[in-house]
Amino acid sequence: MNGFFDIPSDLQHSYTGLIALHLREALLPVLAGLVLALPLAQLCVRFRWLYPPVLGATTVLYAVPSLAFFVVLIDYTGQTELTVMIPLAVYSLVVLVPAIVDGVRSVPQETLAAATAMGFGPVRRYVRVQLPIAVPAIIAGLRVATVSSISLVSVGTLIGNQGALGNLLADAQKYDRPELAVNSVITTAVLAIACDALLVLLRVVLTPWMPSGARRRPKTGARQPLPARPQDVTR
């Protein structure tokens, strides 16, 4: 473990500083993507014809390699964190928009009719009724987008050391220190697992009305009670 946390001075960050930088570059784009996806998904739900072109556009953007995105953006945003975060925010839309749309569409029509009868307008009904019921689907999309974003931040090392923990990969080769590469891979994986676990916990907190798995599924091999005999019933 000698030198495992000894970060080269050219990165201008300590180990904890690289972790903070990595989380900032990974999570802010997901948050921005969520802010964009919520109204966009509502438009797709209200105007069904809009969903296929929106989904097609986000899929095409997702197919653009991140390096090509960086090259285009460098002329406008320079070799900065923003150049890394903008593509990550765009990539998150291809996951978040379908997740929100599917979650909102899963709300029963009876529930929507009841909300309308109570005087809820479209916006209030979306915020107070549809989104809370769609939370499990939204969190599922956030989990995928967050883990993907945490892993893709490392590509930023190709544009002037903007890859946070990914910069350790370049320095591992530069200084012939393989332990830096191991540090980068392990820390990135731990961050992804930790963020995913926090989102699962958030889903549990936001959806107390959802039954637990133990309540839904009987224990395998559990002995079933014997049917009551006629004489037992008469007693």
The domain locations on the chain are 9-205
Domain 9-205 belongs in CATH node 1.10.3720.10: yes
Instruction: Compute the mean pLDDT over every residue in the chain, rounded to the nearest whole number.
Output: 82
| HSE-CB for 128 with a 13 A CA cutoff | 13
pLDDT tens digit sequence for 86-124? 999 999 999 999 999 988 888 888 888 888 888 887 778
Q: Give yes or no for a contact between 197 and 139, defined as CB atoms under 8 angstroms apart.
A: no
Q: Is the pLDDT of residue 68 over 70?
A: yes
pLDDT tens digit sequence for 13-52? 888 888 999 999 999 999 999 999 998 998 998 888 999 9
| Cα Dmax for the chain | 88
Name the band, by pLDDT with cuts 50, 70 and 90, for residue 218: very low
pTM given for the model: 0.81
